[in-house]
Amino acid sequence: MDAPRLGKPDDLKKIKGVGPKIEKTLHDLGIYHFDQIAAWTPAEIDWVDDYLSFKGRIGRDNWIGQAADLARAGKD
């Protein structure tokens, strides 16, 4: 994504393990919304995990599940 939908990104820092620096890096990669993270394929998870040098942290911290829950909560 070139920019967040409606000009407003989700607060990705609500995901355990995402701080301001990682949030900025995700934005630089075009990742602005919980539903984007919730929809990552295993290959995308591996790529981002490798890019961020996390060594499995995305899975350990369950970013996909957290992002899915936060995306659903935002639609309520």
pLDDT of residue 55: 87
The structure's pTM equals: 0.91
pLDDT (tens digit per residue) in 35-59: 999 999 999 999 999 999 988 899 9
- Strand locations in 1-76, DSSP E? none
- Per the structure block, which two tokens stand in for 5? 């939908």
The domain locations on the chain are 20-75
CA distance 21 to 54: 14
pLDDT of residue 74: 77
How does residue 75 score in pLDDT terms, banded at 50, 70 and 90?
low
